[in-house]
Amino acid sequence: MSFDRHLADIAREFPQWTIWRSDAGRWWATRHHPLSDAQRDAGCAMTIDADDPAALREQLRDQESKADDQESADGNTGPASP
């Protein structure tokens, strides 16, 4: 599968993130919305990177889980306010 296809598939799976592949071949994702202090304290990151699409998907799932867990604990249902 081409890297363009991987990129499109990941972007569809994680619409709250911008996905790209660097010239060096690393895969990156950055969130569309800022994190709350509690989400940062829980280990959420604004931007993550990985060696390949599968590893990026794994990190994205982990990040989404951390953010969802923190939102549930706080009783929030939307993105952090600026």
**Can you give the pLDDT at residue 76?**
59
Strand partners, 28: 20, 49
**In this structure, is residue 52 part of a structural domain?**
yes
Alpha carbon distances (Å) from 36 to 14, 54, 60: 19, 27, 17
Q: Considering its fold, how many domains does the chain have in total? A: 1
**In this structure, is residue 59 part of a structural domain?**
yes
**In this structure, is residue 79 part of a structural domain?**
no
**In this structure, is residue 11 part of a structural domain?**
yes
Q: What is the mean pLDDT of each run of 10 residues along the chain (82 residues)?
A: 87 97 96 93 96 97 88 63 48
